Each structure stands twice: as C-alpha cells, then as structure tokens.
Amino acid sequence: MPDLDRAVAVIEGMGFRVRRAPLLEPGRRRWWSAAKPSEIAAELNGLLRDSEVRAIVAHDGGQTVLGYLDLVDFAAVAADPKPILGYSDISLLHLVLYGRTGLVGFHADLATRGLGGTWPEVSAARRAQLEGLHAALLTSTDPIGELPAGPSWECWRAGCAEGPLLGGVINRVVLNQATPYGLPLEVFDGALLFWEEAGGQASYVWSYLQVLRHSGILDRIAGMVVGVPDAIEGLDPPSLAEIVLDVLGERDIPVLGNVDVGHAGPNLPLPIGLRAALDAGRRSLSLLEPAVRPA
C-alpha cells in the first residue's frame, strides 16, 4: 500500500513513532470494510486502552462507524484522552466521542487519502505548512491562532463570531442526530458549524441543511464554515453558496465558504470543541485554544 507507506513517512517526519494496527493488513475485506464492526471496535478499544499510544490516525473513512458506535469503550477515552485524526466517516466518531467524553478529535487528513495521497501532490512549502500545523496541534500548549487562508476562501455572508468548532461531513452530522449518540441541542449554542460533502446531489445538501433547520441547530449556531465541495452533481447553478444562503434565510450569521476542509484536497486540521474565531469578511478563521493542556 504505497499511500500508507507515504503517510507513515509523513508522520515520522513530524517526529512521531508509528505503529501500524493489525487490521491494516493488505487483502483484508468484509463487504466495504476490512472487518466486522465488532473486530474494528475491538482494535479501536485496544488502542484507546494502550498507554503507549498517544494519538490515532485513521487509515480511511468509508461506511463503518455507525456499525460500532455502541461498542466503543467510552470509559477508556475518558480515562486516557488521546486525539483521533481523520475526516469523512471518522467525523461521526469525533462528534460522538466529544458528546460522550469531551474528547477533542481532529477533523484532519486521513492516512491514505490525505497524508499519503493528496499531500505529495502539493508544493513542498504547503506540505511544510501542513506538517507544522499538525505537529503544533498535537504537541503545543499554545493556541495556533489564525489558520493560513487559501485562494479559494470566499465570504458568503460577512460578520464575526466566536465559539466552539463542531462539524464534519454534513450527512454524518445529520445521521448522528438521529441516533442515541446525537449531541444535545444546547451543545450547538454559539458554535461555529463547519461541514463538507463529497459525492451525491446538490439537492441532498439542500435537504441535509433543511434537516438542520428543522432540528433547531441553525437557530443556535453563531457562524458557519463550508468546505470545498467534492464531486457533487447539480451545482452551478445553483452554487453551493446559493443553497446555503437559501436555507439560512434571515438568520444573520457569518458564512465562510470554500475552506480547505474535506475530500477535495489537503485539510487544515480543525479540533472539535475548541474555541475559534471567524471573520468571514476578512476570510479569517483562528484557533483560540490549544488542543494540548499543560501537564
């Protein structure tokens, strides 16, 4: 698996030691996954309970997290909090672990698709920037501050807001709220909701946003950050900005669009639950708290 080998090299280049989990063995397959939900949960729980493991980087996303949510050892997470890195299906795991234990997970690149896939395609300067951001979030007790804005960032509705970051793939955010692991609505009070989507139809995105409206979430958040869309059919027209603003209606909150979050390319790491500042007019997003607490 050359992408995985490249991902390991990237992580080791940041100064970390890497252990490959057993389910990464090539050739393993069970439907669209490497194993049964019970096997995946057993491996994850083993990593959560292992005091030598200080962070977990997801190999890939997919369609598995909903199958093992009820098997996760939440007590192990609370007893020894360690960051989990990943996006796509892993964003569901981030939300559940944050809601149940307060764990700050990183909506960040997966090992194979990201660190070993899209990272080698960008410039050396950009890779160094991403490595510095990830290493700082994993090790520094100082807040990162303003994240590096990309040329794609757009102000869809001007304004400023501060609040905890919550989000992930929008379909996973919506699905999670339909389970017993959904976040209480008050958790969204004053939050900055970030989301992205890959594949499907533009009409699906409109529907997901309508679900967030009906659930009351859109009435509670203080701002919104939207990732670069990836392979969504039926856009332009309408544009993603038009869809978002249509559903928001008169809700006067800042919206920053086309941010480096999601499946379209290398991700800026966003820590779930940490306080951030959004200035959509300036195309600015800043992390106000460190993910690592002083010893």
**Delimiting residues of CATH 3.50.30.60 domain(s) in the chain:** 145-287
Region for residue 249 given its phi and psi (left: phi exceeds 0; alpha: psi -120 to 50; beta: otherwise): left
How does residue 121 score in pLDDT terms, banded at 50, 70 and 90? confident
Rounded average pLDDT over 27-54: 89
What is the distance between the alpha carbons of residues 101 and 84, in angstroms, rounded to a whole number? 13
**Delimiting residues of CATH 3.40.50.10740 domain(s) in the chain:** 2-139
Q: How confident is the model at residue 295, as a pLDDT?
A: 62
Q: Cα–Cα distances in Å, from 29 out to 6, 23, 33, 40?
A: 22, 10, 6, 12
- Which amino acid makes up residue 2? P
Q: Report pTM.
A: 0.95
Of the candidates 123, 130, 126, 158, the residue with the CA atom closest to the CA atom of residue 144: 130
The rounded mean pLDDT for the chain is 94
pLDDT digits (tens, 9 = 90+) for 63-92: 899 999 999 999 999 999 999 999 999 999
For the domain made up of 2-139, the CATH class stated in words is alpha beta
How does residue 1 score in pLDDT terms, banded at 50, 70 and 90? low
Which residue bears the tokens 């500042």? Answer: 277
* Topology, domain 145-287: Glucose Oxidase; domain 1 (3.50.30)
In the DSSP assignment, the letter for residue 193 is E
